[in-house]
Amino acid sequence: MKKRAVIAACAVAALIVLILFMKPESVGDHYEGSAFSGAADGTVTLEVSCAEIANSPEAGASLKENGLVPDDGILVYETGFPIIGGDTAFSVLSRALKERRIHFDYSAVGDHSVYVKGINNIYEYDCGDLSGWMYSVNGDFPTVSASEYTLSDGDSVRWIYTCDLGRDVGDTYYALQGGGTDE
């Protein structure tokens, strides 16, 4: 009986902790709170593109059926976005998508890193085992997580959907390594 009471207390405590960490928001509230406020420290340009899927006739059939892939594959056309100090390639993307009311899913990896899983319901692995979202800054593909890449004024950020581990969108990392085909 004592054991059962302890287990019940632990379950209730876990539930309370879980509920305390939950911050529910209605859809309207979530997107309303996206406006950029305060003085900007600079401007970067941002583009979000899944042109690789749009240009391939066979890739992402179910995504296209649901109208998630625009004809030209551009989800966010290259636009200037204000940044404040400490803004990263991830925080700018997050803010921009919220402003445009576009679906966005990511997961935290470790303390500071994040991994972008899906934008506009276009997810990793939707176009094969080597597909997913990548980012480039001024044409280069950084080898750190987007949330650890601090932007500076005038940077040009692109978020691109790759179907071939970056090789189809201009990332030379695996081409130089000569490997990566089995990942």
Positions that interact with another protein (CB under 8 A):
21-27, 29-30, 62-63, 65-66, 68, 103-106, 117-118, 121, 123
- The DSSP letter of residue 19 is H
Least distance to another protein from the beta carbon of 103, Å?
6
Distance (Å, whole) CA 86 – CA 98: 19
Nearer to another protein, 79 or 121 (CB): 121
Least distance to another protein from the beta carbon of 52, Å?
18
Nearer to another protein, 55 or 66 (CB): 66
Least distance to another protein from the beta carbon of 32, Å?
11
Nearer to another protein, 69 or 155 (CB): 69
Nearer to another protein, 104 or 159 (CB): 104
Query: Within a 10 A sphere around the Cβ of 84, how many other Cβ atoms?
Result: 13
Q: Render 131-180 in DSSP notation, one character per residue.
A: -EEEEEETTB--SS-GGG-B--TT-EEEEEEESSTTGGGT--HHHHHT--
Distance (Å, whole) CA 161 – CA 51: 7
